[in-house]
Amino acid sequence: MKMSKQNTESQNSERGFTLLELLVSIAVGLIVMAAMAGLFKAGMDSAMVVTQRAETQQNMRAAIDLMVKDIGMAGAGLPSGGIQLPAGAGSSASRFACDQSGTCHVPASTYPNTNYMYGIIPGFSNGVEGNAVVPAAPPPAINDSITSIYTDYNFPLWEYNITFPVPGNGTAITLTPNPAYVPAPPLIGAAGGIQVGDLIMLSNTLGTAVGEVTSIAPNEIGFADLDPLNINQNGAASNNIAAISNGANTVAYRLFAVTYYITVPPPNGETPRLMRQVNGLAPVPVADNIINLQFSYDIYNSTTSALDANQTNPLGVGDSPNLMQKINLVVMGQSVVNHGNRSQNLYLATSISARNMAFRNRYQ
């Protein structure tokens, strides 16, 4: 059978895509795919930025919350104006921010103004262990430390009767539970109790003194010389435990001397860390990738009867830490998670009232 001429002409009239049309359609498709890929990458970049910022903020806020708690307690339970540590003949500078191995974790770690323990000890440009370089710190690279000292009321040392085994000798105290307290206080060596390296404040009718714990027995705490913090100094002329060992009605409290600083772990400039070191104990990390830590202080000036705001180095200009009204804190963190070679740097700032320090109403 032969096909009709009409059907043959109809079939011949049907055409496909030309090469030019195919090239144009492929080009358009590639452009659309490139645009979609660009949008997808932009979305992923934005998600990564949000993740970096959220992670960094969370890290920094956790660190700031802990610092605010410790700094806000500065001076609590201390005698008004602080405590004079061992002085006079036979005395030498006591230390803070040092552990039981004798390692001191801030460059200048002795108490200021002839061995005086304030509620807050500013550490201007003294905030990186071993004066190490923090490569990511913004110029000028100033990092501060701070030490906050306050009484710990969690362990009830005041529920013990305190005596001195040898009157006139400050190397040890004996602790006997006071029967007036029911139930009896926990054992001094129990969990959460006294540790070697802790600071103990003793007060009685002859005054107040501080010692570093060097040994613990079931009913005795030792304060031997040559302690890592060089606080005991039983041969000093005054302001040591021996000087008050003949006093009556002795009461004991544990002190916390808490220092915050930055360390750059060796050997190759690893991620900088914010550290928290208490008494003579080993420091513990608080947050990673903290690259800048700065403090300033609002202090009442007893000479001008005005408030000196934002003093970065109050000890350097002769201001007394006892007259602090407010501590201003700025922390800079860098994201732990990097996106390629890019990371996010963020600042967080807050101010802390020194409610347990001396108060002065400058509007009087």
Domain locations along the chain: 52-353
pLDDT at residue 9 in the model: 52
Tell me: pLDDT of 134 over 60: yes
Share of the chain above pLDDT 90, in %: 61
pLDDT at residue 342 in the model: 64
How many degrees, rounded to 5, is the angle at CA 214 between CA 209 and CA 219? 85
Share of the chain above pLDDT 70, in %: 87
Locus of tokens 């606080």: 231
Nearest to 332 by CA among 134, 147, 92: 134
Residue 66 — φ and ψ, nearest 5°? -70, -40
Tell me: pLDDT of 62 over 70: yes
Contacts for 136 with CB less than 8 Å, ≥ 6 apart: 272, 291, 334, 345
Mean local confidence (pLDDT), 266-277: 84
Q: Are 299 and 313 in contact (CB under 8 A)?
A: no
Locus of tokens 């806020």: 61
Q: And the tokens for 142?
A: 């100033």
Mean local confidence (pLDDT), 158-170: 93
Tell me: pLDDT of 21 over 90: no
**How far apart are alpha carbons 144 and 97 in whole angstroms?**
14
**How far apart are alpha carbons 137 and 133 in whole angstroms?**
8
Tell me: pLDDT of 332 over 80: yes
Coil, helix or strand at residue 29: helix
* H-helix or E-strand spanning residue 349: strand 345-353
The DSSP code for 283 is P
Residue 113: left if φ>0, alpha if ψ -120 to 50, beta else—which one?
A: left
Locus of tokens 């110029």: 139
**How far apart are alpha carbons 176 and 363 in whole angstroms?**
49
Distance of CA 362 to the CA centre of its chain: 30
Helices (H) and strands (E) in the chain, counts: 4, 17
Q: Are 316 and 124 in contact (CB under 8 A)?
A: yes
Count Cβ atoms below 10 Å from residue 175 Cβ, excluding itself: 21
Q: Are 133 and 269 in contact (CB under 8 A)?
A: yes
Q: Could you tell me how many residues make up the chain?
A: 364
Tell me: pLDDT of 1 over 50: no
Distance of CA 261 to the CA centre of its chain: 6
Question: Which one is predicted more confidently, 60 or 233?
Answer: 233
Tell me: pLDDT of 361 over 60: no
**How far apart are alpha carbons 117 and 279 in whole angstroms?**
13
Amino acid at 352: I
Contacts for 44 with CB less than 8 Å, ≥ 6 apart: none
Mean local confidence (pLDDT), 106-114: 94
Q: Are 172 and 163 in contact (CB under 8 A)?
A: no
CA distances from 351 to 127, 181, 331 (A): 19, 39, 12
pLDDT at residue 360 in the model: 55
H helices present in the chain, as ranges: 5-12, 19-72, 112-115, 241-244
